[in-house]
Amino acid sequence: MILAQVVLNGFLVGAVYALFSSGLTLIWGMMNVVNFAHGDFVMIAMYVAFVAFTMLHLGPAIFVPLAAIMLFLLGVLVYYALVRHVMRGPMLAQILGTFGLALVLRYATLWVFSANFVSLPENLLGEVQTFAGLRLEPSRVAAGLAALGLTIGLHLLLTHTALGSRLLAVAEDRSAAMLVGIRPDPMQALAWGLGAACTGVAGALIALFFYITPTVGESLALIAFVVVCLGGFGSVPGALVAGLAIGIIESLSAFWIGPAFKDLVVFILFLAVLWFRPQGLLGKA
């Protein structure tokens, strides 16, 4: 019984990892820009949810879309004000550019909200439910469903729409895309906006069960990079599979071997997968 709960918890945590990584798949996986501010985008979304709930008394039905819209605008702004310029520079400029952005976001939040931990009431979506002896938190289930929904949505957008084809064309070859009449800047800005909007949904949902503090992005960001890499660059379903796999492996290894070693198990498996499949689980070679 305990074991079933361990696997279930791992599954739900994995869904959160997948949700958290969905925005990064688009920006890093598609646009090939390493966004070190990814964790801090999620942190900003958590604060949007917090402010909307405590000051404006808005429920999750409103603050989740609100966070998505706010982060979409932030993503577009970041593209035009920063990324567009640093992309012309060497790789190092891109890395340091988004790293600088991460610090600006983090310390601006620290300045406005102080370093204190805040949180939303844990029963905003209802109390813990018991099914066949298994305990389910509604907020985590919602996060899991959202991860699934976002993954399917993004995948359909990229593979079944003209807009998706244009996005992919720009990602693949900027000059060739220009030759066929696609203006790359609006496409890239849209990719950043969509990627950031995903982090908006993720942050607002994670805020329902996690603590909120300006440095929260640090504890979640590394896993997002691993998820995208393991899933395969550019593969949206890959991130979902990788997120779930990491969640379940972490949970089982923490239970059997010990929580201090769960990262060790995850990263050994991660290296092993990259050894045999450098393109990731669902990536194209």
Partner 1 sequence: MSIARRHLLALPALLSASPLLAQGAPVKVGTLLPLTGVAASAGGSAKAAIELAVELINTPQPDLASMPLMATSGFPGLGGRPLQVVIADQQGSPSVAQNQALRLITQERVVAITNGYQSGLVQTASAIAERHGIPYVTGEAVATNLTERGFRWFFRTTPIGPDIAAIYVEFLQSARVNGRPVTKVAIVNENTEYGTSIAEVIRRTAEARGIGIALQIPYAANSADVSAQVLQLKDAQPDVAIFISYTSDAILYARTMRAQGYRPPILIGDNSGFSDDNFVQTAGDIAQGIINRSAFDPSRPGSNSFKVNALYKARTGREMDDTTARIMQGFLVTCDAINRAGATEPAAIQKALRETNLDAGQLMIGYRGVKFDEKGQNSMASVLLVQLRGREYISVWPEATATAPLQLPYKGWE
Does the footprint of partner 1 cover residue 251 (CB under 8 A)? yes
What are the structure tokens assigned to 233, written together?
Answer: 């660059």
Residue from 59, 126, 149, 259 touching partner 1 (CB under 8 A): that is 259
- Distance separating alpha carbons of residues 151 and 179, to the nearest angstrom: 31
Residue from 34, 62, 73, 110 touching partner 1 (CB under 8 A): that is 110
Give just the sign of the alpha carbon dihedral 222, 158, 201, 106: positive
Beta-strand runs (E) in 128-279: 129-131, 134-136
Does the footprint of partner 1 cover residue 32 (CB under 8 A)? no
Does the footprint of partner 1 cover residue 13 (CB under 8 A)? yes
Residue 192 backbone phi and psi in degrees, to 5: -65, -40
- Interacting residues of 212 by C-beta distance below 8 A, sequence separation 6+: 43, 46, 47, 50, 117, 118, 119, 120
Give min distance, CB of 153 to partner 1, in A: 24
Residues comprising the chain, all counted: 285
Q: Which stretch binds partner 1 (CB under 8 A): 62-70, 92-100, 132-140, 236-244?
A: 132-140
Residue from 72, 192, 242, 250 touching partner 1 (CB under 8 A): that is 250
Q: Which stretch binds partner 1 (CB under 8 A): 62-70, 76-84, 89-97, 248-256?
A: 248-256
Q: Using an 8 Å Cβ cutoff, are 212 and 117 in contact? A: yes
Based on CB atoms, which residue is closest to partner 1, 177 or 223? Answer: 223
- Interacting residues of 86 by C-beta distance below 8 A, sequence separation 6+: 93, 94, 97, 98
Residue from 101, 199, 240, 262 touching partner 1 (CB under 8 A): that is 262
Residue from 117, 176, 185, 272 touching partner 1 (CB under 8 A): that is 117
Residue from 62, 95, 96, 119 touching partner 1 (CB under 8 A): that is 119
Residue recorded with tokens 């492996």? 249
Q: Are strands 129-131 and 134-136 parallel, antiparallel or unpaired?
A: antiparallel
Q: Which stretch binds partner 1 (CB under 8 A): 43-51, 56-64, 66-74, 209-217?
A: 209-217
Q: Interface residues with partner 1 (CB under 8 A)?
A: 2, 5-6, 9, 13, 107, 110, 114-119, 122, 128, 135, 137, 140, 209-211, 213-216, 218-220, 223, 247, 250-252, 254-255, 258-260, 262-263
